[in-house]
Amino acid sequence: MQLLKDKILSEGKVMPGNILNVSSFLNQQVDIDLYNEIGREFFRLFLSTPITKILTIEASGIGIACITAQYFKVPVVFARKFMAKNVENDLFCASVKSYTHGLDYTVTVPKQFLNEKDTVLLIDDFLANGCALEGLVKLVEMSGAKLAGAGAVIEKGFQHGGKRIREQNVRLESLAIIESMDENKIVFK
């Protein structure tokens, strides 16, 4: 998606530890026009699949999932990283390691929101090592729902998470795949 790639090149900043900071338009301050185009593109890519729910992980994936869901006209469900007092205990749970934060989380979704009648599309902002998407895949499997595939806005192709997800026979569509990056240059696949 050229619009996204242009935005990454003009505003993205490579940080130490292979971190790509895109907070000025993707996950801190949000460029709504860009989000709209991202949602439209995910809809185009998965249009032939009868999606009933979109599943993401808090927090940065929620906005992208919501915009995408408007095109599919389906609800968004998000996996929580932290337990809230207003959540029931009947949950699907999966362990996830955050590359960016260096922490392990147990992500949860109440069982009432996913079931065997659903066809689920996973949406996330970044795909690096693939742990977040693998956790979401596990939640879908536990629920008995059908997995339509996964959409990642930015994939770090050099970190092999995409390869691991694809090796699990998950249809994965990434809108921008970064082949390499350093503080001076970002190269797309």
Interatomic CA distance for residues 7 and 12, integer angstroms: 7
**What domain range includes position 77?**
2-188
Nearest alpha carbon to residue 124 among 153, 83, 159: 153
68: CATH:
3.40.50.2020
Tens-digit pLDDT profile for residues 143-181: 999 999 999 999 999 999 999 999 999 999 999 999 999
Least confident of 60-64, 67-71, 82-86, 158-162: 82-86
Residue 88's pLDDT band, with cuts at 50, 70 and 90, is: low
Tens-digit pLDDT profile for residues 5-48: 999 999 999 998 888 999 999 988 999 999 999 999 999 999 99
Amino acid at 135: G
Interatomic CA distance for residues 44 and 182, integer angstroms: 32
- The total of structural domains in the chain comes to 1
State residue 189's pLDDT score. 92
